[in-house]
Chain A
Amino acid sequence: MGCIVIVGAGECGARAAFALREKGYDGRIKLIGAEPHLPYERPPLSKDGLKAQLPPKHVADAERYAAAGIEVLTDAPVTSIDRAEKRVTLADGSAIAYDRLLLTTGARARTIAGTGDAPRRIRTLRTHADAEEIRRELAPERKLAIIGGGFIGLELAATARRLGATVILIEGLTRILSRGVPEDIAAVVAERHRAEGVDIRCSAKIDRIDADDRSARIALAGDETVEADLVVVGIGAVPNTELAAAAGLSIENGIAVDATLQTSDPDIYAAGDCCSFPLCHYGDRRIRLEAWRNAQDQGTLVAGNLLGAGEAITSVPWFWSDQYDLTLQIAGLADGASTTVRRDLSDGAFILFHLDDSGRLLSASGIGPGNAVARDIRLAEMLIAAGKRPDPQALVSPETKLKALLAA
């Protein structure tokens, strides 16, 4: 029989638990999480879920876990791993033995040093609890300052504007979305936010932040002070590696795993936001993704590998973001691209395709209203996975079906 223990009850851990059953495992499965909720989806926390103050959108309800024989422990942070004895210890002191261990501990929001003692007015957004606290301040007459022009900050800005709050967004670099998003697409996003009334400040340098119970103040270089009812820091995420590191597992910008998601201990695997892995489509470059579908894909794959399948990860990174009625989707990684071609679709939607010297498609990023770019981005992802060198002219012309290029 045996027991597989999963530490981290988020998207990835939950998916892995169900996939173990789908793949025929009939031993015990224990899914252990630090949060008070069953695993839930994080993407709504900055989008409609935040706006409508929805309860956590569970990955599965309690009946499904029960029916699949998955034991879920909530509010139960794991504090240590004993690799020699093959067991984990929980905060309440209890120990749980494992045959195989999966770490899906995810990531946490990065914070700005020295702001931890003003938690009420300076927050981050990662959990449902964070979203509930932030939501209270999103109303007309309230002023929100967001630090960081990445996806979470921008989605929060869009939702806050929809709720009537005043929003200022402070970015240290020369433009928003500088990590992984082409300039032309970031420009569309920035323009839309400005049209919706978001005050975006790029190249801003923060000298100091302080807060009391009622408000916060951000001192910018050049003698300007921004006052706000709430500051949300959206400057990226840090992988939760402490547990693995304390157990002596290799860490490299995340829990280091091989292409089968195995850590440096053959009985321990890691998957999702917490791990870094070699990505085959890009010369086995080691990367760490913070993306929802990756959490699902890796959760499914690792379940098979916990049972001995030994399969390597081959999915192409894929990400989406919703802001106002715009959706942005990105497949692949554009680093190393030498050529970019543009495909214009209806309603102002467009896609940029990035190719390397040899003509191989590396990445595609698109933006448009609703799901205008979805189908082509999905096909681009399949072209990337197949290592195709599509004719750039065919990519440009909206009359050419990308499906036809896949068959070619």
Chain B
Amino acid sequence: MSGNWIEVCAADEIDEEDVIRFDHGGRTFAVYRSPDDEYFATDGLCTHEHIHLADGLVMDDIIECPKHNGRFNYKTGQAKGAPVCVNLKTYPVKVEAGSVFIALG
């Protein structure tokens, strides 16, 4: 499938239960580290008004948008509550040799 793995950052550059913004090839992504120490990636902009989700708050498996508190499950991309109704696209993530990589399709 997608052999296109892009290095994001060192694994410890993202705090547990937190998110960072990652820009690549003119696109923007949000890369998450869950409370149980797994890594995930989604499109970087909220589907409500194109706000950077990386400024939002991670709680368990939820990313909450900083602008109007729309919620997504960042593991599945599913929109979890008003005002958001369109899901987020997710991307495969792997951690290798202490670095986080995401696969861009």
> A residues touching B (Cβ–Cβ < 8 Å)?
15, 18, 41, 59-60, 64, 292-293, 296, 300, 318, 320, 327, 370-372, 374-375, 378-379, 403
- Cβ of B56: which chain A residues have Cβ within 8 Å of it? 371, 374-375
* Given A374-B67, A375-B66: A15 and B82 interface contact (C-beta under 8 Å): yes
* Bound CA–CA A18/B81 (angstroms): 11
* Given A293-B68, A374-B67: A379 and B57 interface contact (C-beta under 8 Å): yes
- Cβ of A296: which chain B residues have Cβ within 8 Å of it? 82-83
Closest chain B residue to A19, Cβ basis? B82
B window 67-98: CB within 8 A of A: 67-69, 82-83, 85
The answer on a CB contact under 8 Å between B52 and A378 is no
The contact sample of 17 A-B pairs, CB cut-off 8 A, is: A18-B82, A41-B83, A60-B85, A300-B82, A320-B68, A370-B55, A371-B51, A371-B55, A371-B67, A372-B55, A374-B55, A374-B57, A374-B66, A375-B55, A375-B66, A379-B57, A403-B17
Question: How far is the CB of A62 from the nearest CB of chain B, in Å?
Answer: 14
- Cβ of A15: which chain B residues have Cβ within 8 Å of it? 82
Judge whether B64 is part of the interface by a CB distance below 8 angstroms. Answer: yes
- Cβ of B69: which chain A residues have Cβ within 8 Å of it? 293, 318, 378
Question: How far is the CB of A327 from the nearest CB of chain B, in Å?
Answer: 8
- Cβ of B64: which chain A residues have Cβ within 8 Å of it? 378
The answer on a CB contact under 8 Å between A375 and B82 is no
Q: Mark B7-22, 1 if CB is under 8 A from A, else 0.
A: 0000000000100000
> What 6 new A-B contacts, CB under 8 Å, besides A375-B57, A378-B64, A378-B69?
A15-B82, A18-B82, A41-B83, A64-B85, A320-B68, A378-B57
* Bound CA–CA A229/B57 (angstroms): 44
User: Chain B contact residues (Cβ within 8 angstroms of A): what range?
Assistant: 10 to 19
- Cβ of B68: which chain A residues have Cβ within 8 Å of it? 292-293, 320
Closest chain A residue to B53, Cβ basis? A371
* B interface: dominant SS: loop
Question: How far is the CB of A49 from the nearest CB of chain B, in Å?
Answer: 10
- Cβ of A370: which chain B residues have Cβ within 8 Å of it? 55
Question: How far is the CB of B104 from the nearest CB of chain A, in Å?
Answer: 25
- Cβ of B55: which chain A residues have Cβ within 8 Å of it? 370-372, 374-375
Picked from A59, A318, A372, A379, the residue with its CB within 8 Å of the CB of B83 is A59
- Cβ of B57: which chain A residues have Cβ within 8 Å of it? 374-375, 378-379
* Bound CA–CA A370/B67 (angstroms): 9
* Bound CA–CA A60/B83 (angstroms): 9
Question: How far is the CB of B40 from the nearest CB of chain A, in Å?
Answer: 18
- Cβ of A41: which chain B residues have Cβ within 8 Å of it? 83
* Bound CA–CA A275/B60 (angstroms): 34
The 9 closest A-B pairs by CB, nearest first: A374-B66, A371-B66, A371-B55, A296-B82, A378-B57, A375-B57, A15-B82, A374-B55, A375-B66
* Bound CA–CA A15/B83 (angstroms): 9
* Bound CA–CA A363/B20 (angstroms): 28
The answer on a CB contact under 8 Å between B52 and A371 is yes
- Cβ of A374: which chain B residues have Cβ within 8 Å of it? 55-57, 66-67
- Cβ of B82: which chain A residues have Cβ within 8 Å of it? 15, 18, 59, 296, 300
* Bound CA–CA A146/B82 (angstroms): 32
- Cβ of B85: which chain A residues have Cβ within 8 Å of it? 60, 64
Closest chain B residue to A43, Cβ basis? B68
Q: Mark B32-58, 1 if CB is under 8 A from A, else 0.
A: 000000000000000000011001110
* Bound CA–CA A379/B51 (angstroms): 19
Question: How far is the CB of A382 from the nearest CB of chain B, in Å?
Answer: 9
* Given A371-B51, A371-B52, A371-B55: A378 and B83 interface contact (C-beta under 8 Å): no
Picked from A60, A293, A318, A378, the residue with its CB within 8 Å of the CB of B66 is A378
Question: How far is the CB of A298 from the nearest CB of chain B, in Å?
Answer: 12
Question: How far is the CB of B83 from the nearest CB of chain A, in Å?
Answer: 7
* Bound CA–CA A375/B56 (angstroms): 6
- Cβ of B83: which chain A residues have Cβ within 8 Å of it? 41, 59, 296
* Bound CA–CA A292/B68 (angstroms): 9
